[in-house]
Chain A
Amino acid sequence: MADEIAASAAPENGAGPRQGRSAFQRLLTVTIGPIVGAFLLSAVILLLVGVNPLTYYGYILERGLLSGLGLEQTATRMAPLLFLVASLIIAFRSGIWNLGTDGQFLLGAVAAAASAPLLVGVLPGWLVLVVGFVLAAIAGAIWSVLPAILRAYQGVNEIITTLMMSFLGVLMASTLVKLVLLDPGTTVPQTRTLPVADRLPRLFDTSISSGLIWGLVAVVAVHLMMTRTSFGMRLRVVGANPAAATHAGLSVPLLTVAVFGLSAGFAGLAGAADILGVQGNVRADWNPAYGLMVIPLVFLARFNGYASIVLVFFYSALLIGSESAARRLGVPQDFTLVLVASLLICLGLGEYIDHKKSRKER
Chain B
Amino acid sequence: MAQPANAAETLSPSGGAELVGLVNVTKRFPGVVAVDDVSLAINAGEVHVLLGENGAGKSTLVGILAGLQEPDEGHLSVNGKRTRLASPSASLDAGISTVFQHSMLVPTLSVLENLILGAPWWQSSHRAGVEARMDELKRDFALSLPLDARTGDLSLGQQQQIEIARALLRDSRVLILDEATSMLTPQGAEELGARMRQLTDKGLAVIFITHKLSEAYHFGHRISVLKQGRLAGQLAPEALSALSEAEAIEQVVTMMFGRSSDSAEPIRRKTTATAQIVLSVEGLCTEGDNDVLGLDRITLDLKAGEILGIAGIDGNGQKQLAEALAGQRPVTSGRVSFDGADITGLSVSERRRRGLRYLTDDRLEEGTVGAFAVAENTVLKDIGEPPFWVSGIERPARIADHARDLIKRFAVSTPSEATPIGRLSGGNIQKVLLGRELTGEAKVVVFNKPTYGLDLQNIDASRDRLGAVAADGTGVILISTDLDELMALSDRIAVIEGGRIHGIIENDGTGEALRLRIGRLMAGEMDKETVEV
What residues make up the interface of A, taking CB atoms closer than 8 Å to B?
1, 3-4, 7-8, 10-11, 228-231, 233-234, 236-237, 240-241, 243-244, 246-250
* Residue in B383, B394, B419, B423 whose CB lies within 8 Å of A248: B383
* Residue in A8, A231, A236, A247 whose CB lies within 8 Å of B392: A231
* Residue in B348, B367, B394, B424 whose CB lies within 8 Å of A229: B394
Pair A4/B367 contact, Cβ less than 8 Å? no
Closest A residue by C-beta to B353: A249
15 A-B pairs besides A7-B415, A244-B380, A247-B358 with CB distance below 8 A are: A4-B425, A7-B424, A7-B425, A229-B394, A230-B392, A231-B384, A234-B383, A237-B383, A241-B368, A244-B365, A244-B367, A246-B328, A246-B348, A247-B367, A249-B352
* Residue in A4, A11, A237 whose CB lies within 8 Å of B380: A237
Pair A7/B419 contact, Cβ less than 8 Å? yes
Pair B366/A247 contact, Cβ less than 8 Å? yes
Q: List 13 A-B contacts (CB under 8 A).
A: A8-B413, A228-B394, A231-B384, A234-B384, A237-B380, A237-B383, A240-B371, A241-B365, A241-B370, A247-B367, A248-B349, A248-B380, A250-B383
Pair A249/B348 contact, Cβ less than 8 Å? yes
Q: Which residues of A contact B416 (CB under 8 A)?
A: 11
Indicate if B381 sits at the interface (CB-CB under 8 A). Answer: yes
Q: Which residues of B contact A244 (CB under 8 A)?
A: 365-369, 380
CA distance in complex: A244, B369 (Å) = 7
Q: Within B467-494, which residues are at the interface with A (CB < 8 Å)?
A: none
Closest B residue by C-beta to A8: B415
Pair A237/B349 contact, Cβ less than 8 Å? no
Q: Which residues of B contact A11 (CB under 8 A)?
A: 415-416, 419
Indicate if B376 sits at the interface (CB-CB under 8 A). Answer: yes
Indicate if B108 sits at the interface (CB-CB under 8 A). Answer: no
CA distance in complex: A130, B367 (Å) = 44
Pair A249/B425 contact, Cβ less than 8 Å? no
Interface majority SS on B: helix, strand, loop or mixed?
loop
Q: Within B357-403, which residues are at the interface with A (CB < 8 Å)?
A: 358, 360, 362, 365-372, 376, 380-381, 383-384, 389, 392-394
CA distance in complex: A247, B362 (Å) = 10
What residues make up the interface of B, taking CB atoms closer than 8 Å to A?
326-328, 347-349, 352, 358, 360, 362, 365-372, 376, 380-381, 383-384, 389, 392-394, 413-416, 419, 423-425, 428, 455
CA distance in complex: A10, B414 (Å) = 11
* Residue in A3, A8, A228, A249 whose CB lies within 8 Å of B349: A249
Closest A residue by C-beta to B413: A4
Task: Write the nearest CB–CB distance from A245 to chain B, whole angstroms.
Answer: 9
Closest B residue by C-beta to A243: B366
Task: Write the nearest CB–CB distance from B413 to chain A, whole angstroms.
Answer: 5
Closest B residue by C-beta to A11: B415
Pair A229/B327 contact, Cβ less than 8 Å? no
Closest B residue by C-beta to A233: B383
Pair B393/A228 contact, Cβ less than 8 Å? yes
Task: Write the nearest CB–CB distance from A253 to chain B, whole angstroms.
Answer: 13
Pair A233/B369 contact, Cβ less than 8 Å? no
CA distance in complex: A261, B308 (Å) = 46
Closest B residue by C-beta to A240: B369
Closest A residue by C-beta to B349: A249
Closest A residue by C-beta to B394: A228
Pair A247/B360 contact, Cβ less than 8 Å? yes
Pair A233/B365 contact, Cβ less than 8 Å? no
Pair A230/B383 contact, Cβ less than 8 Å? yes
Closest B residue by C-beta to A247: B366
Closest B residue by C-beta to A237: B369
Task: Write the nearest CB–CB distance from B440 to chain A, whole angstroms.
Answer: 14
* Residue in B372, B389, B425 whose CB lies within 8 Å of A240: B372
CA distance in complex: A247, B348 (Å) = 8
Which residue among B352, B372, B380 has the maximum number of chain A CB atoms within 10 Å of its CB? B380
CA distance in complex: A53, B241 (Å) = 89
* Residue in A3, A7, A229, A241 whose CB lies within 8 Å of B393: A229
Pair B389/A4 contact, Cβ less than 8 Å? no
Q: Which residues of A contact B394 (CB under 8 A)?
A: 228-230, 233
Closest A residue by C-beta to B457: A1
Q: Which residues of B contact A243 (CB under 8 A)?
A: 362, 365-366
Task: Write the nearest CB–CB distance from A124 to chain B, whole angstroms.
Answer: 32
Task: Write the nearest CB–CB distance from A362 to chain B, whole angstroms.
Answer: 14
Task: Write the nearest CB–CB distance from B192 to chain A, whole angstroms.
Answer: 33
Closest A residue by C-beta to B395: A228
Q: Which residues of A contact B348 (CB under 8 A)?
A: 246-249
Q: Which residues of A contact B455 (CB under 8 A)?
A: 1
* Residue in A7, A237, A248 whose CB lies within 8 Å of B414: A7
CA distance in complex: A246, B348 (Å) = 8
